[in-house]
Structures are given as structure tokens and as C-alpha cells.
Amino acid sequence: MQTAGFLFFPAPWIEFCRRRYGDVVIFGSLFDPQFVMVFDVDQVKQVLRGSPDRLRAGEANALLGPVVGERSVLLLDGAEHLRQRKLLLPPFHGQRMRAYEEVMVEAADRAIESWPVGEEFALLGSMQALTLDVIVRAVFGVTYESRSLELRRRLRAMIDPVASRAGVLMLVLTGGRRGSGAGEEFAQHRRAVDELIYEEIAARRGEVGSGGAQPERCSGEHRTGDSLASREDVLSMLVLARDEGGSPMTDEELRDELLTLLVAGHETTATALAWAFDLLLHNPPVLARLRASLASGDEAYLGAVVKETLRIRPVISGIGRVVRGQEPFEVGGFAIPPGVEINPSIAAIHRRADRYPAATEFRPERFLGSDPPDTYTWLPFGGGTRRCLGASFAEFEMRVVIRRVLERAELGPVGRQPDRGVRRGVTFVPRRGVRVVQNKA
């Protein structure tokens, strides 16, 4: 029954349990026979500030292993996690990120031009195609359309079955041995994705040795260009990256990290974008203020819209940490024994009335005052040493896409109420995909 609650009624089920049992609640489900959820900001601080040797996030993410690979930064703990994180961090900070803006604008333009005029359509699917396009080009630097389309096709064939509720349930029940529950079919899709990823890695390594010329691809495509160091895509940077001992990432490590960025970096951002437009279209005063602020050249309110969207519609509802060591870990006055997972609830923290007045209302101005929510009351990307590496990239992409859509399209909502959310895999998505109508080209 608890498994059904988490799968089909996550928000009301968790809120009911919080109100009945308090801010520290023990749950059991088919996913995990025993885990603890915490709902108080002070408890979240305890967990996020806890020693990574005592609280293992990688173990809590083990469910994703069949998809992203065992060497993914999501699954590593301790020194291995720190090494991978340091290697992955540079492409997603500072001016490096700004280099991706043109890619994002072009992807948004392609999406907008594909929308029908005067006909109802689901925005979520379009946002998924848009963000996958951005990731393929920004992460891999793949600009050949045929190559990009093939990579996107293979990725969706692998991800879609796993992302369903039934797929996740089978993934749990089989311990990851049978992928999405489709067994060999999932393995075939993964091998097809791996084939293209390893080809891209080999081509980029060959570019290092050839002084800039990229060897011919098996698809018959080739190109020459500047040295690898002048490229701005993430793959090129990771091929050149070295750890403190001077060692590069192995092909297997590159594969797992690239797939992590592809899987985690497009589905979540696409969902957040769909939610953003759903909220904006059902809150005309907010939309009007956003248009006016953008027209004046002020993007502060746009940033607040993004943050408020991620608060009221967090795509990921919780953060997992498995207790390890000889002693229990104390949180909220309770001793949590080794082997038990602690899961701070992002969704519940974001809806606490004592932290967010009128918490169910869409109010971007919360983030414009002198005392905006801090890193322990606003945590859509997690926190501490495990905060999502792509957080800045995702927020930046949301700002770019929202601004471009408002510049070029006039969308209207279908229905008077915002879409209801449902769990799809590990994410919280709009049930109907955010149905909209484009009123003019």
C-alpha cells in the first residue's frame, strides 16, 4: 500500500504522513523495506552537512546503475566521487556555460517553428526534444543533423521504458538485473547507445593525436577544425581533463558520465520548462509582469520565475543518503541505524507554510526580496557536496528558453486549471503534458 502511495499519490500521501506522524517518518515499500523521510529544515541541514563517509548518496542512487553505469558520479561515494566531481565541474560554471546560449536559442527556435497554430498540442514532448537537442550538441558537440537525430533516437528508445512507473517498479523488483524489466530488449537499446558514445569518444581522442583533424566516422561524416582545446563541448573538455595525479578519465568513465549528463540533464529540465509555462499561462498577472520586465531589459524577475517554478513543482521530490559506519546517525532526536536510507523531502520542505507563506501559490517575488529562501529551504537540485553539477546549466537553459518562447510565440492554456502532477519514473511530470494552443505564429 505504501508503494502504491508513492507511485500514484506521492504528494498527498507524503503530506498525510507528515501531518499524522511528524517531521521524521519511517516508511517501507517494495523499493526499500525501511527508509526514513525528514521534513524539517533543521533536519535537512543535519543530513546535507553530514560527513560523506557516514551518509552515502551513491548507494542511495544505485537504482540508476543499469541506465547510467556504475562509474557515474551519481553512484560514486568518497574519494572516487570527489575526483569525478572535480573533473566534471569546470564545463558548467562561469563563461563556459555562456557559450551554450546560442545552441539553446537555436534549439528553442526549431521547437517553436514546429508548433502548429490554432491546434492543441502537448508542450512537454516538445520541451523534451528541445532539451535533448541542447544536450547532444552542448555535451557531445554533435552538429551533423543525421548523427544528432540517430543519437537522440537511440537515447529515447533506451530511456522511455525505464522512465515509466512500471519500468521503475520492475527495475526495483529485479535488482537492476533486467534493466527496465524488458530484459534483452533494454540491453540491446543500451548497447546501441553505447556504440555511438564510444565512437564519439574515440573520434575525440583521435582528434587529440591528429592535432585537430577528426578522423572519418563510421557514418561517413568527417570534419577538420581547430584543436580539441578550442572546442567548447563538454566531451572535448572531459577528454582533456586530468585529475590531481595527472590521469585522464577512462573510456568507461567518460561513457558513464556522458550518459549521466544526457539522461539527467534533459528530462528534468524539459519537465521543469513544461511546468514553468503551465504556471505562467494560468497566472496572467505573473506572465504580464514577466513580459514587462523582459521588455525593459530586466531579467531579475525571469530568474525568480524559474526559481519559484522549481519550488512549487520540483521535478525530483527527494534526496537519498544511506547511513554507514559503526554508529547510528542522529537526526531530529532519532538514531538512524547503519544501512537505513534517510530521504529529506524536497517537495515537503518547499511547501512548508512556516517557510513559504501561501506556499501553494505561484509567487516569484519570493525570490526578489532582501531575505530570499536559502540553500536549505530551496533545494530542487539537492545540496551540500552532492548538489547537482548541472544546476547552473539547467537554470540558465530555462531562462533562455522561456525568454525566447515569449519573444516569438503567443501560447494559451487548454483548461482553466494547471496540470496535475504524476510520478513518471523518478520524476514528477504534468499528467497531460501541459496542453496549449499557439494563437499566432
Would you list the domain boundaries of the chain?
Answer: 2-440
Backbone angles phi, psi at 224, to 5 degrees: -120, 160
Reduced DSSP (H G I as helix, E B as strand, rest coil) percent helix, strand, coil of the chain, to 5: 55, 10, 35
Q: What region, left, alpha or beta, does residue 425 occupy, with left being phi > 0 and alpha being psi -120 to 50 degrees?
A: left
What are the tens digits of pLDDT across the range 319-372?
A: 999 999 999 999 989 999 999 999 999 999 999 999 999 999 999 999 998 889
- The pLDDT tens digits of the residues spanning 193-247 come to 999 999 999 988 887 655 544 434 443 343 434 467 778 889 999 999 999 999 9
CA distances (Å), origin 29, targets 141, 152, 331: 42, 34, 21
The CATH T-level fold of domain 2-440 is Cytochrome p450 (1.10.630)
| Residue 160 to residue 149: CA distance in whole angstroms | 16
Question: Do strands 329-331 and 120-122 pair parallel, antiparallel, or not at all (unpaired)?
Answer: unpaired
CA dihedral 418, 422, 423, 424 (to 10 degrees): -90
Dig out the grid coordinates for 129 from the structure: 526534444
252 or 264, which is more confident? 252
CA 206 to chain centre: 31
Report strand pairing: 341-344 vs 35-38. parallel
Confidence class of residue 438 from pLDDT cuts 50, 70 and 90?
Answer: very high
Model confidence at 431, pLDDT cuts 50, 70, 90, reads: very high
Least-confidence region, from 8-17, 122-131, 163-172: 163-172
SS3 state of residue 122: strand
- Across all residues in the chain, what is the average pLDDT? 87
DSSP-derived secondary structure for 265-328: HHHHHHHHHHHHHHHHHT-HHHHHHHHHHHHTT--HHHHHHHHHHHHHS-SS-B--EEE-SSS-
Cα gap 319→48, rounded to integer Å: 9
What's the rounded mean pLDDT across residues 71-98? 88
State yes or no: pLDDT of 165 exceeds 60. Answer: no
Using the structure block, give the residue that is written with the C-alpha cell 492554456.
413
Percent of the chain with pLDDT over 90: 65
Q: How many CB atoms lie within 10 A of CB 41?
A: 19
